[in-house]
């Protein structure tokens, strides 16, 4: 059965998604660019043909979780920069040209081509559930919606990259059916890349 609380990510939920990202994935490079940048990113994702996302919304309107995905991460970044590059650059203008920021940005932009041609281009970019709503099936429902949308777009497999030390997320991906494909260094830390067939999880 479809989960009625799960709806497509739209402009109204971009700020909530940015806040959940900042709170839940606080060690990542994108988080370090700040909430205004993340809001622009989550405004851009559903506007791009290669991107989509879902949110879990309570009847009162509170957003408890979100997921953002790309048919191809490289293509999504290009489309987002073309559509909303100025808005995305504006909040980070102050420190965009610092050598350390530039280095991490280049690593982030080059990462899709570096993780290996064997891996699927499609990717779960980010997922986060509010800390007091975890362990209740919200993340799994968001993942099911994302895999179903990938399948609808004729994407057969997708990957997800996560810090090897993020135990919660690694366990979550394994429980969702993802299989570890490789571990590599990213921004100087070990990162696991998992892969799943988009028809592997029971959708509805
Ligand atoms: C990872 C995260 C999204 C999971 O969301 P969630 O709503 O708590 O997950 P669910 O309740 O839907 O759990 C789905 C399955 O994963 C398992 N699971 C979830 N967290 C787990 C953990 N820490 N340890 C073991 N299993 C776990 C659940 O037991 C469940 O298994 P089941 O299907 O057998 O019942 C959430 O912990 C989170 O937001 N973490 C911070 C953000 C983050 O690290 N994101 C990933 C990096 S991009």
Domain with residue 36: its CATH number is 3.40.630.30
**pLDDT greater than 90 at residue 149:** yes
Q: Whose CA is nearest to atom 16 of ligand 1?
A: 172
Residue 204 lies in a domain: no
**pLDDT greater than 50 at residue 1:** no
101 lines ligand 1 (CB under 6 A): no
Ligand 1 centroid distance, CA of 135 (Å): 6
* Other Cβ atoms within 10 Å of 91 Cβ, number: 17
Residue 174 lies in a domain: yes
Non-local (6+) Cβ contacts of 155 within 8 A are 71, 120, 122, 198
Enter the pTM of the model.
0.90
145 lines ligand 1 (CB under 6 A): no
Ligand 1 centroid distance, CA of 164 (Å): 15
pLDDT digits (tens, 9 = 90+) for 173-188: 999 999 999 999 887 8
Residue 203 lies in a domain: no
Buried b (16+ CB within 10 A) or exposed e, 102-140: eebbeebeebbeebeeebbbbbbbbbbbbeebbeeebbe
Residue 1 lies in a domain: no
Ligand 1 centroid distance, CA of 128 (Å): 9
129 lines ligand 1 (CB under 6 A): yes
The tally of domains found in the chain comes to 1
For residue 57, the enclosing domain spans 6-197
Question: What pLDDT is recorded for position 107?
Answer: 66
Residue 147 lies in a domain: yes
Question: What pLDDT is recorded for position 26?
Answer: 82
**pLDDT greater than 60 at residue 10:** yes
Atom number, ligand 1, closest to the C-alpha of residue 142:
12
Question: What pLDDT is recorded for position 195?
Answer: 98
Atom number, ligand 1, closest to the C-alpha of residue 160:
48
Residue 96 lies in a domain: yes
């Amino acid at each position: 059965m479809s989960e009625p609380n799960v709806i497509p990510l739209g402009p109204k939920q971009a700020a909530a998604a940015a806040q959940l990202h900042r709170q839940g994935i606080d060690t990542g490079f994108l988080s370090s660019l700040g909430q205004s940048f993340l809001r622009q990113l989550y405004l851009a994702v559903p506007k791009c043909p290669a991107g989509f996302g879902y949110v879990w919304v309570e009847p009162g309107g509170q957003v408890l979780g979100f997921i953002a995905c790309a048919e191809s991460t490289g293509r999504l970044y290009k489309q987002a920069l073309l559509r909303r590059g100025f808005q995305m650059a504006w909040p980070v203008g102050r420190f965009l040209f610092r050598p350390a920021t530039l280095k991490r940005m280049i690593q982030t932009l080059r990462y899709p081509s570096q993780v290996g041609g064997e891996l699927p281009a499609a990717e779960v970019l980010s997922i986060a559930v509010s800390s007091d709503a975890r362990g209740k099936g919200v993340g799994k429902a968001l993942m099911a919606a994302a895999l179903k949308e990938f399948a609808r777009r004729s994407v057969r497999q997708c990957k997800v990259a996560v810090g090897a030390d993020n135990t919660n997320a690694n366990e979550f991906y394994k429980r969702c059916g993802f299989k570890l494909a490789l571990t590599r260094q990213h921004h100087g830390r070990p990162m696991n890349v998992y892969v799943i067939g988009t028809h592997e999880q029971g959708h509805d």
